[in-house]
Structure 1
Amino acid sequence: MPLHDFRCRECDKTFERLVRSDTRVSCPACGSEQVDKLLSAPQPPGRSKSIIAAGRAAAAREGHFSNYSAAERAKIK
């Protein structure tokens, strides 16, 4: 189920809900069903050094070295 942001037309409160396409959403503050779905900016995948290092370590434990450069593979073996 996707997470969506909503804004209530009655009390102007903004909130998030996990919803299916057939779910009726109501405001948690006032209970009104007069809500608008808000557009959210897409979040890019994390590319921090720690995430990359953890992924490489997991791949190395499984015997996959394809995401390492030749110089990095030489240091590991």
Structure 2
Amino acid sequence: MPLYDFRCNTCNKTLEMLAKADSTPCCPECSGTMERLLSCPAPPGQSAGIIASARAQAAREGHFSNYKSSERPRSK
């Protein structure tokens, strides 16, 4: 189920909830009707850079558990 932003029409509380695409949940505070809002899109991920820097730091510290066996340095 996707995350949606909802605003209560009764108490104006805004919250993020997991909901089916065709359902409209009731407000958990006042049991009022909820209105689905447009969610802000997530910025483009920078996970490749984050992963690369984390792996480099792990290699400097001698931790190779997050590497594939073919990527681990060979012991002599």
Report the TM-score, using the length of structure 2 for normalisation: 0.59
- 1:53 offset after TM fit, Å? 3.8
Percent identical: 37
Runs of 4+ in 1 over 4 A off after TM superposition: 54-58
SS at match of 2:50: helix
Classify the secondary structure of the residue corresponding to 1:28.
coil
Residues 46-65 of structure 1 mapped to structure 2, 5 A cutoff: 46-47=46-47, 49-54=49-54, 61=68, 63=70
Bigger helix share:
1
Unmatched 5+ stretches in structure 1: 65-75
TM-superposed deviation, 1:17: 0.9
Length-normalised TM-score, structure 1? 0.59
CA distance in 2, matches of 1:42, 1:55: 28
How far residue 39 of structure 1 moved from its aligned partner, in angstroms, is: 1.1
The number of residues matched between the two structures is 64
Backbone CA RMSD of aligned residues = 2.9
